[in-house]
């Protein structure tokens, strides 16, 4: 009976998030330049997107292009101009996250761009993504004082799975990956290794082996993402329940939590030797952020703003305007905005009720009365000392809902890629 209740709860959570994503992300393309309305006294989080890869991974849905040196260098020039335009508009940023794509694909251009960002703004921390093929210790030493955290997408150390997801030939065997990573531990202040769980052929023992290897490598952070999938989209209720029944997700999640019990929890799928706010899920600690670069998203004033996906259009817009925005969402409904923020805070470990109410000018207990009641009945949350905490099952629910949120964003990216001029 307990298994059935858990399964139905996960099913309902997925459907709620899918419905919310579909209705909230009503995107309108714009033909005239627009400007952000923002508080110039605030310091914001900055995301920069580098959309180039040497090779494409089969499971990756992020915005990217096949790497070409000349195109990449022109893009970085446009990105630096975009930084200058943001400064002219009056923005200030405290933290920079660089994603992709493969940000380290041209280290010379990346160094010049980070240096400019730190010169223009009060950026104290820089986090950057990388693939295993771009972690040469000699190269990384050039980023001393520029990158504080490097997130490496390993995904798995199982050779069979690496072959199945077309990463074995691109990035090397499990042994090669381990050697590359061991050589750069300590070169960057914080190394984060990313794993994916719930591959179709993954067993409990395979997951435990992945976790055993990553702990032995001893990085400062470990992130364990569930496999992102659009398998529930346009899926009947019966088929959906069949998928959930045969899923090992919750079992795998419990294995992860047990194997990493000696680590601090940054959020429901990120673990550190020491508690930190510098991790991949920057939206948890930053309700508003600005995205620069092709395909980057910004969230400010309860709306989503989207930059041009086409590289030529991105460069032209930045040259002519203060930003490269091509589309904007409708203003999110207030209750949906509160539901989303509640999810983010719960995913982050707890919801401080009084602070949440002050931050969003709301009574959480009143506006989410039904949701809180249901979560308590399902033993997904509990209240202690003015905070709402997730139970283990509640943590897993936030993981499921965050997965569906990112899947919804993937669908949006797929739609926006149609704007690229071939």
Whether residue 215 is found in the same domain as residue 280 = yes
Q: Is residue 2 part of a domain?
A: yes
Whether residue 260 is found in the same domain as residue 400 = no
Whether residue 198 is found in the same domain as residue 341 = no
**Per-residue pLDDT at 247:** 62
Whether residue 238 is found in the same domain as residue 130 = yes
| Range from 15-19, 101-105, 130-134, 397-401 carrying the lowest mean pLDDT | 15-19
Cα angle value 21/22/25 (rounded, 5°): 70
- Residues 7-63 have pLDDT tens digits of 445 444 444 544 554 445 678 899 899 999 999 999 999 999 999 988 777 667 778
Whether residue 155 is found in the same domain as residue 275 = yes
Whether residue 194 is found in the same domain as residue 242 = yes
Whether residue 130 is found in the same domain as residue 208 = yes
pLDDT of 411 over the 90 cut = no
- Residues 301-360 have pLDDT tens digits of 888 999 999 999 999 999 999 999 999 988 888 888 898 889 989 999 999 999 999 989
Average pLDDT in the 194-209 region? 94
Q: Is residue 173 part of a domain?
A: yes
Whether residue 133 is found in the same domain as residue 270 = yes
Whether residue 104 is found in the same domain as residue 124 = yes
Q: Please, what is the average pLDDT of the chain?
A: 86
**DSSP assignment of 262-280, as one string?**
TSEEEETTEEESS--S-SS
What residue numbers bound the domain in which 387 lies?
Answer: 1-26+333-417
273: CATH: 3.80.30.20
**Per-residue pLDDT at 237:** 42
Q: How many separate domains does the chain show?
A: 2
pLDDT of 244 over the 50 cut = no
- Residues 52-97 have pLDDT tens digits of 988 777 667 778 888 899 999 999 999 999 999 999 999 999 999 9
- Residues 367-395 have pLDDT tens digits of 999 989 988 988 899 999 999 999 999 99
Whether residue 162 is found in the same domain as residue 262 = yes
Average pLDDT in the 224-238 region? 58
374: CATH: 1.10.10.920
Q: Which residue has the tokens 């399902």?
A: 378
Q: Is residue 410 part of a domain?
A: yes
Structure tokens at 372: 């809180």
What number of CA atoms fall less than 13 Å from residue 222's CA on the CB side? 26
Whether residue 165 is found in the same domain as residue 95 = yes
CA–CA dist 152, 154 (Å, integer): 6
């Amino acid at each position: 009976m307990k298994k059935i209740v858990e399964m139905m709860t996960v099913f309902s959570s997925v459907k709620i998030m899918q419905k919310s994503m579909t209705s909230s992300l009503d995107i309108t393309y714009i033909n005239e330049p627009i400007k952000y309305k923002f508080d110039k006294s605030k310091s914001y989080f900055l995301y920069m997107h580098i959309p180039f890869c040497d090779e494409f991974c089969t499971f990756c849905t992020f915005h990217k292009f096949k790497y070409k040196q000349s195109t990449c260098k022109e893009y970085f020039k446009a990105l630096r101009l975009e930084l200058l335009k943001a400064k002219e508009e009056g923005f200030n940023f405290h933290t920079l996250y660089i994603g992709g794509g493969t940000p380290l694909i041209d280290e010379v251009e990346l160094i010049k761009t980070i240096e400019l960002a730190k010169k223009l703004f009060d950026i104290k921390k820089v986090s950057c993504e990388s693939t295993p093929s771009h972690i040469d210790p000699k190269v990384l030493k050039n980023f001393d004082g520029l990158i504080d955290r490097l997130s490496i997408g390993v995904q798995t150390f199982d050779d069979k799975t690496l072959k199945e997801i077309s990463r074995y030939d691109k990035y090397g065997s499990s042994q090669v990956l381990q050697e590359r990573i061991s050589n750069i531990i300590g070169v960057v202040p914080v190394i984060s290794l990313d794993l994916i769980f719930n591959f179709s052929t993954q067993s409990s023992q395979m997951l435990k082996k992945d976790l055993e290897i990553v702990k032995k490598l001893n990085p400062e952070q470990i992130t364990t993402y569930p496999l992102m999938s659009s398998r529930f989209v346009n899926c009947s209720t019966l088929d959906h329940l069949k998928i959930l029944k045969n899923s090992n997700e919750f079992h795998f999640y419990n294995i992860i939590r047990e194997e990493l019990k000696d680590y601090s929890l940054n959020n429901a799928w990120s673990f550190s030797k020491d508690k930190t706010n510098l991790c991949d899920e920057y939206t948890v600690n930053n309700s508003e952020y600005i995205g620069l670069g092709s395909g980057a998203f910004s969230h400010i004033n309860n709306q989503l703003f989207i930059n041009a996906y086409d590289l030529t259009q991105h460069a032209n817009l930045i040259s002519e305007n203060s930003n490269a925005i091509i589309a904007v969402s409708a203003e999110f409904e207030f209750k949906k905005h509160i539901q989303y923020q509640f999810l983010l805070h719960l995913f982050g470990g707890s919801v401080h009720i009084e602070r949440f109410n002050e931050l969003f000018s709301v009574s959480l207990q009143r506006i989410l009365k039904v949701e809180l009641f249901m979560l308590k009945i399902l033993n997904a949350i509990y209240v202690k000392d003015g905070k709402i905490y997730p139970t283990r099952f509640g943590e897993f629910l936030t993981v499921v809902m965050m997965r569906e949120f990112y899947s919804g964003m993937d669908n949006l990216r797929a739609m926006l890629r149609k704007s690229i001029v071939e």
